[in-house]
Amino acid sequence: MGPDLVDRAKRGDKEAFTTLVLELGDRLYSVAYRILRDAGRAEDAVQQTFLIAWRELPTLRDESRLEAWLYRLLVNACYAEIRHTRRWQPGLRLVQLEVPSEDDAQLSVANRDELERAFRRLSGEQRAVLVLHHYVGLSGAEIGTALGLSPGTVRSRLHYARQLMRAAIEADARTIASGGTA
């Protein structure tokens, strides 16, 4: 993805923009999916991101910042999806299971489910910084630049997101141990 390609897309070249979409679409979708936890909503967020990008691309001053700019648009589209889609959480009764052995594949699934439930309890802002940090691998400064946040705000959101994840996992463990519902 060279500066020439971005420059051509900025001038309205549809083929250049299509090439950018093809190169970056999967990465943006994977970030959106990890924030929203829903394939359809993630697709909508990515589509909204590219629509805004096509319209606003001529205003991008620094072609080297394209990816950070797209992450910002994507995270904002994810926030909009979260606001516009009412969350439905079924009342599930957690059944206490025997503790499987460490090499059991069920343990992996149980751990993944536990993380998923905890992740869904986070706000969109907290999900975004966790995904950009742990999945995309951006530093706090890069996340701040991409989202227009100060480094202190990024650190704070990461800290509280991790703290809430830990608390949610511990609460689920206590609920399961007592035989209650989640």
* Residue 2 vs residues 5, 16, 21, 138: alpha-carbon distances, Å: 5, 11, 13, 21
Question: Is pLDDT at 158 greater than 80 in this prediction?
Answer: yes
More confident residue, 175 or 151: 151
Q: Which fold has domain 1-88?
A: Rna Polymerase Sigma Factor; Chain: A (1.10.1740)
Compute the average pLDDT of residues 31-59.
Answer: 93
Rg (CA), the chain: 19
Share of the chain above pLDDT 90, in %: 42
- Cβ–Cβ under 8 Å, residues 80 and 48: yes
User: Domain-by-domain residue ranges, the chain?
Assistant: 1-88, 89-182
The whole-number pLDDT of residue 165 equals 86
The pTM for the full model equals 0.69
CATH of region 89-182: 1.10.10.10
